[in-house]
Structure 1
């Protein structure tokens, strides 16, 4: 009898162990890594909790920076699942390389001149007439910097500022905000949505849209060789969420304009 009891006990333990293992597998979350333009930081972090509550089976992590630098990371094989770019050029380069499974422009923005709250200048013209410095993102890797260069060139001011060493270039728009807020630069050029992210900074003026290329943000599902069905489904779920009414409300709170039909 003892032998039978031991055998039954072993069988029960094996069954329970199998159930426990299945339970553990079902509780595992699918992880998504999302590379996004630095100017989207606050809006996306606010949306993160909402998304993960709606989809508890998915866990998201973000990699924020200049769109050009993020695109290069993807080209070099970084395991990125989705890319939210502030640059049509960086998005299109990935499309050409067949790294985008699905994508479209979802947001637009405005370019503005900012200063700290104690600045003596009142407009771009008054800044240009002085000797102060202007901070912009590095044009080669930061879309806001690319738009800033176009704007300054079309205003006939780029060569003057460059020759007078009055240009300060940064790794992203967050650094532009920091330099202006701390008085390390007299003025800066960022997106209107960025001003929500910084204390002691205000808008001096909004630049005319005709001075630069259209400012569009693109959402893209990245093809990184992932064949796992759960991961592919999670990517599509997040992609749809970014186009939802919930996302639209948050993006608009931060000064972005929604450019696509809302996913219900």
Structure 2
């Protein structure tokens, strides 16, 4: 009987020791950084090439972090976040979509009172340029924005632009307004076609589906399209890309660290190589 009690005590002690060993192993794994953190970044479609390149470099330096992207128009990304999509970091191609998610904004900028943005993380990350591009050979003979306007008025060319719910389309609408155009009238006459994001607009120009298109300088660079003109601030304002960590992110610290990296010299060199610039 005594022998059985001794054996039971030994077995209990062994079990406790084993459990303690498992516990210490889990702590070691967490502290050793073996469990990867998965960051989900929602970024404007115009950032596809640069962000993929930057993420590879970042993951090499931070092997415990794995980054996945959702690239699309800023309007589509904003709607997905609003509808509950998992997102740690959002980078928009315009202030409008970020404002609509930022609880610190007034009712005019954020009419639905949405509160997804961790406001103290929000920064103006980059500036882009809006440019006019043509297919190879420039069959429409379009020289610049003034020439585009004259030929649109004459009905001799077709322009491709972004939809009204995406930033590149909104910048284009400002340009059309600058020249006094009625967008709906021109579109109804068959002289404007649309793309759901800047990549679609770029593709239509590249394929020659339109005589010209209005896109970002960075997309022109990536598609090897040479711009014939660059829009001024008077025509469409500044093209600012704000970025912010999301309040509902489960990895706010890691998302902030990646955002800080995007503001640093290494990432900025990649951005500059395709036509982005720091906000002036």
Residue 191 (structure 1) shift = 0.9
1:34 to 22, 37, 41: 41
2:69 to 51, 62, 71: 62
1: distance between equivalents of 2:181 and 2:18? Answer: 78
Counterpart for residue 240 of structure 2: 216
Matched position secondary structure for 1:252: helix
1:138 to 157, 163, 176: 163
Contact 1:33 1:61 in 2 (8 A): yes
Structure 1 unmatched runs, 5+: none
Matched position secondary structure for 2:238: coil
2:117 to 100, 122, 132: 100
2: distance between equivalents of 1:38 and 1:149? Answer: 19
Counterpart check, 1:258 vs 2:258: no
Residue 81 (structure 1) shift = 0.6
Counterpart for residue 115 of structure 1: 134
Moved over 6 A (4+): 8-13
Count of aligned positions: 252
2:96 to 85, 89, 92: 89
Counterpart for residue 232 of structure 1: 252
Residue 196 (structure 1) shift = 1.4
1: distance between equivalents of 2:84 and 2:19? Answer: 42
Matched position secondary structure for 2:70: strand
2:266 to 234, 240, 246: 246
2: distance between equivalents of 1:10 and 1:99? Answer: 47
Cα RMSD over matched residues?
2.4
1: distance between equivalents of 2:227 and 2:238? Answer: 20
Per-residue CA distance 1:139-191 (angstroms, 9 max, x = gap):
22x10110001101111234452342211111111011111111111110001
2: distance between equivalents of 1:232 and 1:138? Answer: 32
Residue 232 (structure 1) shift = 2.2
Counterpart check, 1:167 vs 2:192: yes
Of Structure 1 and Structure 2, which has the larger fraction of its residues in strand? 1
1: distance between equivalents of 2:65 and 2:273? Answer: 25
2:86 to 71, 76, 79: 79
Contact 1:38 1:64 in 2 (8 A): yes
1:192-207 to structure 2, matched below 5 A, reads 192-199=217-224, 201-207=225-231
TM-score between both structures, scaled by the size of structure 1:
0.86
